[in-house]
Amino acid sequence: MYTIKLPCPVSANQRLIKSKTGILINSAKYRDWHNLALFQIKNQFPKIETLTGHIKLSVEVHFKDKRRRDIDNIVKGLQDVLTEAEFFIDDCQIDELFVKRAEIDKDKKGYVIVFIDEI
């Protein structure tokens, strides 16, 4: 089982933008979060044993303030960064997904605690 603390992911509503040619691309805000999350993962887990079976993914979301937000809007970006970090091969391995809104971050930055387990 892995337990990871990461900055709160960018919402799906802010993830994609249209390029000048009309193609959807990842926003600069998302790319910055993605790079920071990968850096923090590598610092927390220098060696990751990739899980190859079915996965249970649980996420505690600690937002930076009390504004209304859909908690499911952060899941896809989180799955993508965890896949790129090689915790699992593909996010299609996730058979159980649990997302919980937790208390507000006292430091007003926002973070998630992710629990990854093979089932």
Interacting residues of 117 by C-beta distance below 8 A, sequence separation 6+: 1, 2, 55, 56, 58
SS3 category, 78? helix
- Average pLDDT across the chain, whole number: 91
Burial of 88 (0-12, 13-18, 19+ CB in 10 A): buried
What are 75-108's pLDDT values in tens digits?
999 999 999 999 999 999 999 999 999 999 888 8
Please give the full DSSP string across 8-44, using - where no structure is assigned. PPPPHHHHEEE-TTS-EEE-HHHHHHHHHHHHHHHHH
Confidence at residue 61, expressed as pLDDT on a 0 to 100 scale: 95
Whether the CB-CB separation of 72 and 110 falls below 8 Å is answered with: no
Confidence at residue 34, expressed as pLDDT on a 0 to 100 scale: 94
Domain parsing of the chain, residue ranges: 2-118
32 or 72: which carries more pLDDT confidence? 32
The CATH code that applies to domain 2-118 is 3.30.1330.70
70 or 36: which carries more pLDDT confidence? 36
Please give the full DSSP string across 67-106, using - where no structure is assigned. ----GGGGHHHHHHHHHHTTSBS-GGGEEEEEEEE-PPPT
CA distance 60 to 111: 8
Mean pLDDT of 11-40: 85
